[in-house]
Amino acid sequence: MSKAKSAVCLALMSLLIAGLIFVCFIPFNYGYEGMNRYNPIAVVTSLDSDLGLYYGSGDEYSKPYNGGGYSAMYYPEGVISSRQYTDDTKDDAERQEEYEGKYEKVGSLYFDTEKVTLADKKPNDDFTADFENAVDMLRERYGRLHEEDVRIDVVDDYTVRVFVPRAASAAFTQFSYMGDFSVSYGSDASTATTIMPARATESINDYVEGASTRSANGSEFVVIDFTEKGREALSKATANAAESSSTMFFKVGDETALSLSVSEAIDQDSLFITSSSFTAETANIAAILIDTTLEFAPVTMTFSVDEITSHTARFGENAMLFVVIALAVLVCAMLVFFFVRYHLLAFAHIYTFLLYLCGTILCVWAIPFLTLSIETISAVLITTILLSISNVIVFENARKDFALGKTITSSVKGGYKKAFWHIFDLHIALALVGFVVFFIALPPLSSFAFTLGLTTVFSGLGSLVLTRFHWAILMAYTENKGGFCNFKKEVADNE
Amino acid sequence: MSKMRKVIRLLPVWAAISAVIILAGIVLMAVLGFNTASERPESYVFEVDYGIVVHNDEKLETGLGDICTEAFSAKGLSLADTVKGSGVNTAQDQMAVRYIFTDTLSEEVRTAVEQAIDSKIEQNEALKGADIFTVWHVEENVPFTEADWRGGVAIAVGALVGLIYVGIRFGLGSAITGAVLAAHDSLFTVSVLAIARIPVYASAPVFYAAIAAVVSVLLWAFVCMKLKGLKKDPDTRSLPAEDAVEESANGSRKCILGVLIALVAAIAVLGGVATAGVRALVLPAFLPVAAAAYSSLVLGPAVHARVKALLDKLAYKRNKGYAGKQKAQPEE
C-alpha cells in the first residue's frame, strides 16, 4: 500500500475510532451554560439489577437505569402487617378496641379471625395449603417472565415478597390475581354474562387452550386460542354484535385481566387482543397470567399488593465503577504486553481492540434483552483474550517467517496463511457454543452465551480482517519494518 | 521418558481422581444441593421504616442507623447485608432499611434487640416522635429451578454442536475427546462447588459450568490444531498415537498457558478490585478455569492418546488389503 493511501486510511480509521470512543464513553455538557448533558452509550446502556453506577446526568429521575429494582409485598385476604395494624389503631381508641376483638397476632402478622380460622396460633390447614398453591403459582408466573434477578421470598410464613428488576415491575398487580379463568360478555364487567365455562359442571379448559403473545406491525397482541367448543360459544355469544356492540371480559377470579370491544360476530379459533397501552412486557404479563391460570389448579386465596419499594443495586451503588476500574487495569496489562513484545505493531492490535470494544458496547446498548452484567462482562473478557491470542498467533507466525529471512510483506502473508484456519476454527467452534446455549438457556446464562457468540464473531473479524488492515496501513511509513514489529532476522543477527 | 509421556500413561490415575470427585459431587448435589448462602435461602430481617422527618435529615438518618448497628453488635449479631429501599406511589417519603442476618436467631434474641432499639429511639431526643417503626421478619427464598435444568441442557447441546464442528474439521477422535473433556470440566466444576460447600448465588453453578465448557472447547481446539498440523506434515503423519498426542500437547502448551494466565489474571483483578457482591460471583470462576487447565494439560492428552490409538487401529483394519494410493498421500 502506498504511503498516501495509508495516510488517508489511517486518518479515516483514527477518526472513526475517536468518534466511536466519543459517542460510547465521553459525557459532556452543552448548550447555554452547559445546562444540557450528553450521556454516552456506555452510560445509557442498561445495567442488570445487581450492578449499580451513579454517574451521568443530574437529577435522579432523568438518569438511565442504574441497577436495582422494585419489591412488593403480597398479603392474603384477612392478613395485615403489624405496621398497618399500628397505623390503623394509632390515636383511635374505638378502632383499637375493634381490632383487638377482630385480629390475632401470629409472629409479626395480624390475622382477621373472621376470615382466617386459627388453631394454636396458626392458620388452619386449608389456608396453609391454599397459600402454598398461591406461592407455586407466583413462582410459575414470575419464572415465565424469564427476567434476570427475579426473587420471591416467603415472609413470616404467610406473606410473599417479590423483587423484580425495573422492566418487570408492571407484573405486581396482574400476577396477584388468583381464582378461575372465565370469559364473560356484556356491557360492563359486573353484569356481563359468563359464556365460558357456561355451566358449573364444565371446565374452562373445555373452551380455552392457552394464551401467548405476538408482535405485528409494531403492535403487541395477546393471542387466546379456543377449542372447537370455545369457538362455538364465542360465535353464539357474539351473533348479534353487529346490531349492539358489547365488551368481552377475560377474568381471573373477579378481576378483569383483559377486555375486548366487540362490534361484529366472532367465529374464529384465536382472538388477537391489543390495546394502545400494550407494550411487549405488559402483553407478555397478561398472557402469562391467563396461561398459568388455565394450567394450574385454581387458587381461592386473594391477595392485596402493598409496600411497593424501590431498591438500589444488590452489589452496591458503585459496583459498576469498581468493575470498570478492574477492566481498565486488565486493558493496561494487555497494552503493556503488546508494546513490550511487538513495539509499535501493538497499535494494530489496539485499533482492532477499540473497534471491537465500541462495537460490543453499541450492541449491548441496542439489543433489548442484553444488559451490562457480570455475565456479559465475563463473555467480553473471554473473547478479548481470544482476540489477543489470535493476534499473538499471527504475529508469532510472522516473526518466525521474518527470522528465516523473508521480507516483512511475505512474513505477514505467511503469518496469516498459517494461522487463518486455526483462528477461523477457534472462533467458529466458540460462536457455535455461544449461540446454541443462547437459544436454549434462560437469563442470566443466555445473556452470557449471546454476548459470547456475538463478541466471538467480532473477535474473528477483528483478528482476521481488521488487524491485517491496520498492520498494513501502520507499517507503510516505517523504513525499519522489522524494528517496527520488534522482529529480528536470525541470519542478519548471525552475520 | 518425557514428562508428557508419563502424564499420558497415568490415565487410570487421572480418571480415578476425576471419577471420585465427580461421583462425590453428584451425590452431594443430590442430597444437599449447593451452598447458596450468597442467595440467602433463609434469613432473619430487622426492618426499620421511617418517614420524611428522618429521611430528610442526614444526621437523624445516620443516628438511627448507628442505634441499630450498635444494638446488633451489643448482642453479638453478625450482619450479612443491608438493603435500603424507598416507598413508591402511596408512601413516596417512606424509607425502609432491612438489616439481614443469615445466622439462626432465637425469638428471645430478636425480641431483646427490638426492645433495645425501640428504647434507644424513644430516649433519643432528636428521634422522639418521628415516624419510625421496627419489626422482625423471617424470610425463606423460593428457588426457581427451570433456569438450572435448561442451562444444563443448553451447555450440553452447545458443547456438542461446537464439538461436531471440531469433529468435521479435526476428525472424530478429537470430537470424542473434546466432548469427554467438556462434560468432565463442567461436572468437575459443579462437583467441587458442591463438595467444598463454596457459597454461591443460586444461578451461579450453571454459569460456572458454562465457563468450564467454553474454556474447555477453546483449549482443546489448540491441541486439535497441533494434531492436524502433525497429520499434514509428511514427516510426522505416521507417528504412533502416543507420540502424536505428546508432540501436539507439548506444541500447544504455550497457547494454552497464555490463555490460562490471561483468564486467571482477569478473575484475580476483577475479584480483587470489585465490591463484595461481585467478588462472591467472580472468585469461584477460578474453579472452571482450573478444571479446564487440568483437563487440557493432563487429562486431555491422556484420554486422546487412547482414543486416537483405538481409532487408528480401526482405520488400519478397515484399510487393510487396500493396495491403491492413499487419498492424502502427496505426490513425491
Domains of chain B: 3-37+143-317 (1.20.1640.10), 43-139 (3.30.70.100)
SS3 assignment, position B97:
strand
Contact B206 A434 (CB under 8 A): no
Q: From chain A, pick out residues whose CB is under 8 angstroms from the CB of B91.
A: 307
Task: Find which of B95, B181, B270, B283 to mutate to test the A interface (most A CBs within 10 Å of its CB).
Answer: B270
Say yes or no: B255 contacts chain A, CB-CB below 8 A: yes
Average pLDDT, chain B: 90
First to last CA, chain B: 34
Q: Which residue of B has its CA nearest to A446?
A: B151
Report residue A89 CA to chain centroid gap: 43
**Residue B287 grid cell:** 474453579
Say yes or no: B149 contacts chain A, CB-CB below 8 A: no
User: What residues does each domain of chain A span?
Assistant: 3-26+314-485, 70-77+115-312
DSSP structure class, residue A65: P
Q: What pLDDT does residue B268 have?
A: 96
pLDDT tens for B26-43 read 999 999 999 988 888 999
**Residue A96 grid cell:** 383499637
Contact B142 A81 (CB under 8 A): no
Spatial contact of B256 and B222, defined as CB atoms under 8 Å apart: yes
Q: Provide the percentage of residues in chain A whose pLDDT is more than 70.
A: 95
Q: What pLDDT does residue B322 have?
A: 57
Using the predicted structure, report yes or no on whether residue B316 has a pLDDT greater than 70: yes
Q: How far is A380 from chain B (nearest CA, A)?
A: 11
Residues 6+ apart with CB under 8 A from A413: none
**Residue written as grid cell 477483528:** A462
Spatial contact of A451 and A370, defined as CB atoms under 8 Å apart: yes
Sign, CA dihedral B294-B296-B297-B298, equals positive
Q: From chain A, pick out residues whose CB is under 8 angstroms from the CB of B151.
A: 441-442, 445
Contact B162 A433 (CB under 8 A): yes
**CA-to-CA distance for B170 and A162, rounded, in angstroms?**
50
Q: How far is B180 from chain A (nearest CA, A)?
A: 15
B23-B28-B30 Cα angle (round to 5): 95
Q: How many CA atoms lie within 13 A of B208 on its CB side?
A: 32
Residues 6+ apart with CB under 8 A from A488: A402, A403, A482
> Within chain B, where are the H helices?
3-9, 11-31, 52-55, 58-74, 107-123, 146-170, 172-196, 204-232, 241-273, 276-282, 286-294, 300-319
Band of the pLDDT at B262, cuts 50, 70, 90? very high
**CA-to-CA distance for A115 and A99, rounded, in angstroms?**
13
Q: How many CB pairs under 8 A join A and B?
A: 208
- Please tell me the CATH superfamily of domain A3-26+314-485, with its number: Multidrug efflux transporter AcrB transmembrane domain (1.20.1640.10)
Q: What is the mean pLDDT of the segment spanning B110-114?
A: 94
Sign, CA dihedral A366-A372-A375-A380, equals positive
Q: From chain A, pick out residues whose CB is under 8 angstroms from the CB of B135.
A: 81-83, 108
Contact A444 B203 (CB under 8 A): yes
Per-residue pLDDT for chain A (495 aa), expressed as one digit of tens each?
688 889 999 999 999 999 999 999 998 888 888 888 888 898 888 888 888 765 443 344 445 556 788 899 999 999 999 999 998 998 889 999 999 999 999 989 999 999 998 888 889 999 999 999 999 999 999 999 988 889 999 999 999 999 988 656 679 999 999 999 999 999 888 889 999 988 878 899 999 999 999 998 888 999 999 999 999 999 999 988 888 888 999 999 999 999 999 989 999 999 999 988 888 889 999 999 999 999 988 888 999 998 888 888 888 878 888 999 999 999 999 999 999 999 999 999 999 999 999 999 999 999 988 988 999 999 999 999 999 999 999 999 999 999 999 999 999 999 999 999 999 999 999 999 999 999 999 989 999 999 999 999 999 999 999 999 999 999 888 888 888 999 988 754 444
Q: Which residue of A has its CA nearest to B280?
A: A315
Contact B265 A432 (CB under 8 A): no
Q: How far is B317 from chain A (nearest CA, A)?
A: 30
Q: What is the mean pLDDT of the segment spanning B244-273?
A: 94
Q: Which residues of B57-69 are buried (b: 16+ CB within 10 A; e: fewer)?
A: eeebbebbeebbe
**Residue written as grid cell 508469532:** A396
Which amino acid appears at position A308 of this protein? I
pLDDT tens for B136-147 read 999 999 998 899
Q: How far is A89 from chain B (nearest CA, A)?
A: 14
User: B27-33 contacts: CB < 8 A, separation 24 or more?
Assistant: B28/B191, B28/B194, B28/B195, B29/B190, B29/B191, B29/B194, B32/B194, B33/B194
**Closest by Cα among A156, A147, A67, A51 to A109:** A156
Whole-model pTM?
0.90
Contact A436 B154 (CB under 8 A): yes
| Phi and psi at residue B50, to the nearest 5° | -145, 155
Contact B85 A82 (CB under 8 A): no
**Residue written as grid cell 434477578:** A149
Q: Which residues of A376-392 are buried (b: 16+ CB within 10 A; e: fewer)?
A: bbbbbbbbbbbbbbbbb
| Phi and psi at residue A240, to the nearest 5° | -100, 15
Q: What pLDDT does residue A278 have?
A: 85
